[in-house]
Structure 1
Amino acid sequence: MQTEDYEIDRKDLELWWGLSYASFLVMPRVAMQLMPEEWQEKMAELLNQYDEAINTDAFGVKGCRVQAIGENGKLMTMPDEWKNYRHPSRETKAAIKKPDGE
């Protein structure tokens, strides 16, 4: 997360939402599975801790849905590249991963 004037240290979870009114953080599975094995293991451990501590069924919620929003702010069909986590193409992987140093 960067601003024009400085780079923010992301150790504070609140910074991931910035000034938005977002209530959820969504991370595409296909992108997470492109991360190094060590990262995936750490993330799995954190998700297990979260699952042990948080009752996500509270208030009658049994699940959530994610919808894609285009550059114009309107709903759009989720691109197949984001949905195909089992067999992403080389082109999809290249498009998702940022070059080193960013």
Structure 2
Amino acid sequence: MTEQPYQRTDGPIHGWFSLSYSNYQVLHRTLMQSMPVAWQERMVACLEELRDAYEHIDQPECFEVQAATEHIVNEMGDEQLKQAGITEDWYGGETPPKELTDVEFAAWQAQYETAEPVCYDRDGNELDRHARVLLPAVDPIPHYRHAYIEPRLPDDYPGCESATP
């Protein structure tokens, strides 16, 4: 069987991202600088080559990166929805009149309540109930100034002798 050549947009990087819709890959500095020096040199060379190849393209000044956990909207509890700034509309945009008795409210609710709520993000945009959203989380990897994390590399890995701090 003859291998088909990669197209520029579906090559090894596209394959590495797999079926995700991610637009970025965040690389943890602590882990990268804990790798052997030979690996770090190759990585820096690749990063510099990438930077140099796109010097002619406007780049963002910086990014904000935050550790998070991924959740599906319709599987989230009330506290998670609140943390994500997601509101649910169970009444098709209707608001119950003020001063209803419990019996009157139950009747109003029976009239307007929908089988599934419509969800909105904190900016008022409607969300698909099967959408994935992120909730901030604590980063389990310590800051690079406070940690060296021993990589688990094969014994024959080039440069293993330089893996210790």
**Structure 1: tracts of 5 or more residues without a match:** 1-10
Q: Highest CA radius of gyration, 1 or 2?
A: 2
**Structure 2: tracts of 5 or more residues without a match:** 1-10, 72-132, 156-165
Instruction: Give yes or no for contact 1:68–1:78 (8 Å, CA) kept in 2.
Output: yes
CA-to-aligned-CA distance 1:13-45 (integer Å, 9 cap, x gap)? 112211111000111000101111110000011
Q: Secondary structure at the match of 1:43?
A: helix
Q: 2:141 aligns with which of 77, 82, 92?
A: 82
Q: Which residue pairs with 1:29 in the alignment?
A: 29
Whole-angstrom CA distance in 1 between matches of 2:29 and 2:138: 13
Whole-angstrom CA distance in 2 between matches of 1:56 and 1:28: 26
Given the superposition, is the C-alpha separation of residues 41 and 86 from structure 1 closer, same or farther in structure 2, using an over 3 Å criterion?
same
Given the superposition, is the C-alpha separation of residues 70 and 50 from structure 1 closer, same or farther in structure 2, using an over 3 Å criterion?
same
Instruction: Give yes or no for contact 1:67–1:75 (8 Å, CA) kept in 2.
Output: no
Q: Secondary structure at the match of 1:24?
A: coil
TM-score of the aligned structures, taking structure 1 as reference length: 0.64
Counterparts of 1:33-48 in structure 2, within 5 Å, are 33-48=33-48
Higher RCO (CA < 8 A, seq sep 6+): 2
Structure number with higher helix proportion: 1
State the percentage of identical aligned residues: 29
Please, what is the CA RMSD of the aligned residues?
Answer: 2.9
CA-to-aligned-CA distance 1:40-83 (integer Å, 9 cap, x gap)? 0000111111111114862x62221112112646422442x535
Given the superposition, is the C-alpha separation of residues 57 and 87 from structure 1 closer, same or farther in structure 2, using an over 3 Å criterion?
farther
Given the superposition, is the C-alpha separation of residues 44 and 99 from structure 1 closer, same or farther in structure 2, using an over 3 Å criterion?
closer
How many residue pairs end up in the alignment?
84
Question: Where does structure 1 differ by over 3 angstroms across 4 or more consecutive aligned residues?
Answer: 71-74, 97-101
TM-score of the aligned structures, taking structure 2 as reference length: 0.42
Q: Which residue pairs with 1:67 in the alignment?
A: 66
Whole-angstrom CA distance in 1 between matches of 2:19 and 2:37: 32
